[in-house]
Amino acid sequence: MSRIGYIRVSTEHQETARQQEIMCDYQVDRIFSEKISGANKDRPQLKAMPDYVREGDTLYIESISRPGRSTKDLLNIIDTLTEKGVTLISHKENIDTDTPTGKFMLTVFVALSQLEREQLKQQQREGIEIAKAQGKYTGRKPIEIDRTRFGQLYGEWKPKSITGRDFMRRMGLSANTFYRRVREYEIRHGIAEPTSA
CA distance linking residue 112 with residue 101, whole number of Å: 16
**Total residue count of the chain as it appears in this document:** 197
CA distance linking residue 92 with residue 190, whole number of Å: 45
Q: Which of 103, 104, 47, 34 is nearest to 73 (CA)?
A: 47
CA distance linking residue 62 with residue 93, whole number of Å: 9
CB 61 within 8 A of CB 81: no
What pLDDT is recorded for position 175? 83
Structure confidence by residue, pLDDT tens digits, 131-153: 888 877 666 656 678 888 899 99
The ranges assigned to domains in the chain are 3-112, 147-188
Q: Answer whether 0.75 is exceeded by the pTM.
A: no
Which are the catalytic amino acids?
A: 10
Give me the tens of pLDDT residue by residue for the chain, a chain 197 residues long: 899 999 998 888 888 889 999 999 999 999 999 988 877 778 899 889 989 999 999 999 998 888 876 667 777 888 888 889 999 999 998 888 888 888 788 778 777 777 877 888 888 888 888 888 887 766 665 667 888 889 999 999 988 889 888 898 898 888 888 888 898 888 888 876 554 44
Q: How far apart, in Å, are the Cα atoms of 147 and each of 144, 154, 158, 160?
A: 9, 10, 16, 20
The superfamily CATH assigns to domain 3-112 is Resolvase, N-terminal catalytic domain (3.40.50.1390)
